[in-house]
């Protein structure tokens, strides 16, 4: 991720919101993500811990944030610990942040080198009673790999067993799902970059083009504007439309097929999410357009249904009801099948089997607890679909939606979604 300048006021505000949720005599500690190994002496690129970035704006590895809002020494209430730059490190890895640079980015006045962490941390632990430690509590996370946070939790509890330990994620998930205007603006810029990529593709796709060539066109547009792929791109032609997390992206696109593009940009650590399904030949067949228009009607119905007080599971149930009606009209389901369906396994799940919405922000599948009720200030995706394996194609449509006091606002409203507009742009 290429750094983008963000007003440090955002991170100052985020820390202040967290401080208001901490009890008296409380301490919170967050660690940067590890740089993960590959094979031999290889490593993956560094991807910052989103919680740490949310509170600091710092990209650098081996960073630690300590918050103690009621510390006796005012200098200890916010401390950022960094790797100390040296000539060898600069030669091999390049520039590392100075203390002054870290302050400009984060708004944190007390920036220390990592070598000072043990002494200052012990001083604070002797003063504090409650310790908030960070973990990944996303309800779909199934990680088998340890992290700096998990190692730190073990070390901390071994050395200081008599403190009261708490889960920081409970507080951060409550905060992160509610987006500040500056965060919505960054997501909007990621959406705009996604739109650039999609319009480029509409001029490029034709029979004989390979899925990997389409991926390369997106990469060209995203990277030259300092963006990146928000997630591994799904570029699925023909029957591949029906593979939900297809990522092979190496098959030719043939005349008469649809190509499903679940591809979006990340910008300045903020993500967007888009899916379009377009005709390889530049024209939908009659049947393809019937299914496309059905999914588009569901999309519009679900966007209208994105109102405060619901959960994302409520949205899924409403989507299934709308999609059931469309599948009846398309002849995919019969009234008898719907009447006799198992309420716990609706008949429509043969054609639409995944969720319809998730929060988005610093993570594509941004953090929340599934019991949380939708509020103004959230940013969600809307992604209905109909997959017809027996007919060899599927259609999915997805945009990124901001929820406001006045209702849902489609951050991708300028990106073509109407079938006729897509055909016109492909044949321009």
Q: What are the tens digits of pLDDT across the range 53-88? A: 999 999 999 999 999 999 999 999 999 999 999 999
pLDDT at 365 over 80: yes
Measured between alpha carbons, how far is 239 from 248 in angstroms, rounded to an integer?
13
Show the DSSP H helices in 69-180 as ranges: 87-93, 99-106, 117-127, 148-159, 169-176
pLDDT at 345 over 90: yes
The alpha carbon torsion through 315, 321, 326, 332 (nearest 10 deg) reads 120
Domains contained in the chain, CATH given = 9-176 (3.40.350.10), 181-426 (3.90.230.10)
Measured between alpha carbons, how far is 66 from 27 in angstroms, rounded to an integer?
7
Per-residue model confidence as pLDDT tens digits over 274-306:
999 999 999 999 999 999 999 999 999 999 999
Contact (CB, 8 A) for 402 and 305: no
Average pLDDT of the chain is 96
Per-residue model confidence as pLDDT tens digits over 239-277:
999 999 999 999 999 999 999 999 999 999 999 999 999
Give pLDDT, residue 163: 98
pLDDT at 1 over 80: no
Measured between alpha carbons, how far is 137 from 370 in angstroms, rounded to an integer?
11
Q: Which residue is listed with tokens 């009261």?
A: 164
Measured between alpha carbons, how far is 353 from 345 in angstroms, rounded to an integer?
10
Measured between alpha carbons, how far is 153 from 133 in angstroms, rounded to an integer?
7
pLDDT at 334 over 90: yes
Burial class of residue 18, CB neighbours in 10 A (0-12, 13-18, 19+): buried
Give pLDDT, residue 141: 83
Give pLDDT, residue 144: 79
Percent of the chain with pLDDT over 70: 100
Q: Which residues pair with 30 in a beta bridge?
A: 65
pTM of the full structure: 0.95
pLDDT at 215 over 90: yes
């Amino acid at each position: 991720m290429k750094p983008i300048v963000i007003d440090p006021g955002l991170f100052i505000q985020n820390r202040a919101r967290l401080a208001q949720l901490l009890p008296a005599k409380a301490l919170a500690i967050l660690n940067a993500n590890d740089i993960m190994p590959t094979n031999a002496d290889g490593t993956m690129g560094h991807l910052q811990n989103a919680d740490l970035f949310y509170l600091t704006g710092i990209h650098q590895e081996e960073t630690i944030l300590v918050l103690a809002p009621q510390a006796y020494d005012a200098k200890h209430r916010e401390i950022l610990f960094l790797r100390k730059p040296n000539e060898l490190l600069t030669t091999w890895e390049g520039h590392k942040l100075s203390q002054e640079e870290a302050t400009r980015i984060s708004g944190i006045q007390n920036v220390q080198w990592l070598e000072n962490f043990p002494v200052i941390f012990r001083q604070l632990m002797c003063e504090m009673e409650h310790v908030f430690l960070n973990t990944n509590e996303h309800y779909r996370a199934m990680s088998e790999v340890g992290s700096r946070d998990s190692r730190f939790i073990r070390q901390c509890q071994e050395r200081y067993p008599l403190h009261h330990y708490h889960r920081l994620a409970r507080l951060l998930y409550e905060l992160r799902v509610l987006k500040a205007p500056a965060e919505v603006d960054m997501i909007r810029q990621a959406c705009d970059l996604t739109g650039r990529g999609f319009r480029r593709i509409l001029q490029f796709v034709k029979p004989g083009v390979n899925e990997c060539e389409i991926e390369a066109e997106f990469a060209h547009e995203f990277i030259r504007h300092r963006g990146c792929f928000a997630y591994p791109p799904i570029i699925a032609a023909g029957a591949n439309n029906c593979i939900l997390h297809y990522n092979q992206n190496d098959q030719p696109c043939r005349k008469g097929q649809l190509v499903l593009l679940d591809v979006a940009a990340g910008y300045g650590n903020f993500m967007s999410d888009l899916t379009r399904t377009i005709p390889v030949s530049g024209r939908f067949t009659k049947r393809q357009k019937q299914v496309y228009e059905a999914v588009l009607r569901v999309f519009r119905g679900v966007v209208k249904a994105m109102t405060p007080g619901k959960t994302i599971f409520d949205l899924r149930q409403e989507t299934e009801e709308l999609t059931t009606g469309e599948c009846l009209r398309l002849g995919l389901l019969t009234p008898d099948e719907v009447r006799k369906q198992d309420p716990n396994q609706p008949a429509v799940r043969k054609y639409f089997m995944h969720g319809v919405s998730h929060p988005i922000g610093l993570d594509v599948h941004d953090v929340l607890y599934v019991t949380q009720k939708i509020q103004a200030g959230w940013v969600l995706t809307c992604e209905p679909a109909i997959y017809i394996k027996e007919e060899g194609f599927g259609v999915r449509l997805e945009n990124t939606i901001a929820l406001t006091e006045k209702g849902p606002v489609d951050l991708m409203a300028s990106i073509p979604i109407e079938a006729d507009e897509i055909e016109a742009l492909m044949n321009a």
